């Protein structure tokens, strides 16, 4: 169980910008983001899936907004011409961590969302993401960040929004070729190397990534390697508040422990127990 809990903590370990606190918003407040192009019957289904009430604030997300943050990272055909993905974000108690639940999302995993949300500076929330039919899920992150800004009256920097979306897409793409488990393990190992070695140049970073992949038995194409170098070069240059990251890790550990003891957690465990490799050394390297 300890090993599994440690593995699940990886969802909190992507390089993060300073975490933004929840302004004057109250615990339990929920805001719903709806794709602008949902048909009436689909909108009703989505609201039911999210468990939304008539008191919940609603925000509309357009296809143009999705293009703004995803257009540089995935083909136009994959983004599509309609905004469908929808989500809700509910504020939780301070230091309670992030929990993501998805429905009808095929390409982006719960863990990928969690990591990207932390990169965007979001914490202490339950996020539900859904669609009326199967979709890739790439567009949902845009709506969540928009809702968070409205909910907390805190602006997420544009470069951070783009970095979070790029991170999500790059992890999903890598998962297509090496599998989501190995993709996540590689991301963790790269961060371990960055924390320990603090590479200063792109060349240093490239060697670190290649070495991490070799140690995990992963063969990266030149394109995959270049994409990872570019991504981590951006992330390592963000202004990181490691104290906040440490607090978030502690919150995540407590939440995971409680969740795993529940009936729902046991079912969840069956799906995720093989997801990530151990990250104890990485945690020690960050906060020693």
- Write down which residue in 162, 187, 204 finishes a domain: 162
Place of tokens 């990530």: 276
Are 201 and 118 within one domain? Answer: no
Is the domain of 152 the same as that of 192?
Answer: no
First to last CA, the chain: 24
Is residue 269 domain-shared with residue 194, that is, in the same domain? yes
State the total domains in the chain: 2
Does a structural domain hold residue 4?
A: no
My answer on whether 195 and 272 are in the same domain is yes
Residue 18 lies in a domain: no
Domain-terminating residue out of 135, 162, 189 = 162
Residue with tokens 């939304």: 52
Look up the domain containing 200 and give its range: 179-287
User: Same structural domain for residues 145 and 41?
Assistant: yes
Answer yes or no: is 38 within a domain: yes
Same domain assignment for residues 131 and 187:
no
Helix, coil or strand: residue 51: coil
Residue 258 lies in a domain: yes
Burial of 63 per CB tally in 10 Å (0-12, 13-18, 19+): middle
Is 244 contained in some domain? Answer: yes
Strands 86-91 and 125-130, bridge-based pairing? antiparallel
pLDDT at 287: 64
> Does 13 reside within a domain?
no
Same domain, 130 and 199: no
Residue 62 CB neighbours (<10 A): 16
CA distance 104 to 115: 19
Residues 124 and 215 in one domain: no
Q: Are residues 81 and 147 both part of a single domain?
A: yes
- 98 and 211 in a single domain? The answer is no
139 within some domain: yes
CA distance 19 to 123: 7
Q: Do residues 138 and 106 lie in contact, with contact meaning Cβ atoms separated by under 8 Å?
A: no
Q: Which three-class secondary structure state does DSSP give residue 89?
A: strand
**34 beta partners:** 60
Are 94 and 126 part of one and the same domain? yes
Could you tell me if 282 and 192 lie in one domain? Answer: yes
Residues 6+ apart with CB under 8 A from 276: 7, 8, 10, 111, 181, 184, 185, 188
Pairing of strands 98-102, 86-91: unpaired
The verdict on residue 154 lying in a domain is yes
Domain termination site, one of 162, 190, 224: 162
In contact, 20 and 121? CB cutoff 8 Å: yes
> pTM of the entire structure?
0.72
List per-residue pLDDT tens for the chain, 288 residues long.
444 444 444 444 333 333 333 445 788 899 999 999 999 999 999 999 999 987 899 999 999 999 999 999 888 888 888 999 999 999 999 878 888 899 999 888 887 888 788 778 888 899 999 999 999 889 899 999 999 999 988 888 888 888 889 988 998 999 999 988 788 767 767 777 777 788 889 999 999 999 999 998 899 999 999 989 998 888 777 764 544 544 554 554 455 455 455 565 555 555 555 444 445 555 556 666
What does residue 218 show for φ and ψ, rounded to 5 degrees? Answer: -105, 130
């Amino acid at each position: 169980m300890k090993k599994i809990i440690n593995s699940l903590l990886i969802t909190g370990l992507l390089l993060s910008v300073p975490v933004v606190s929840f302004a004057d918003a109250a615990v339990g407040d929920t805001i719903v983001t709806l794709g602008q192009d949902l048909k009436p019957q689909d909108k009703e289904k989505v609201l039911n899936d999210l468990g939304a009430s008539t008191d919940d604030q609603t925000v509309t997300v357009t296809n143009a907004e999705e293009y703004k943050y995803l257009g540089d990272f995935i083909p136009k055909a994959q983004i599509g011409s309609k905004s469908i993905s929808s989500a809700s974000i509910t504020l939780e108690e301070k230091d309670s961590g992030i929990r993501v639940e998805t429905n009808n999302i095929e390409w982006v995993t719960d863990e990928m969302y969690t990591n990207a949300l932390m990169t965007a500076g979001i914490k202490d929330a339950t996020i539900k993401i859904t669609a009326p039919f199967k979709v890739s899920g790439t567009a949902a992150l845009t709506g969540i960040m928009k809702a968070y800004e409205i909910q907390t009256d805190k602006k997420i920097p544009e470069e951070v929004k783009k970095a979070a979306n790029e991170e999500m897409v790059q992890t999903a793409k890598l998962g297509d070729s090496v599998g989501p488990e190995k993709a996540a393990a590689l991301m963790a190992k790269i961060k371990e190397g960055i924390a320990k070695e603090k590479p200063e140049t792109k060349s240093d970073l490239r060697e670190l990534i290649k070495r991490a992949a070799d140690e995990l038995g992963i063969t990266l194409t030149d394109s995959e390697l270049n994409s990872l170098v570019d991504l981590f070069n951006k992330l390592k240059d963000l202004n990181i508040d490691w104290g906040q990251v440490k607090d978030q890790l502690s919150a995540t550990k407590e939440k995971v422990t409680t969740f795993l003891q529940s009936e729902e957690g046991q079912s969840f465990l069956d799906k995720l127990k093989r997801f990530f490799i151990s990250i104890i050394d990485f945690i020690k390297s960050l906060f020693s």
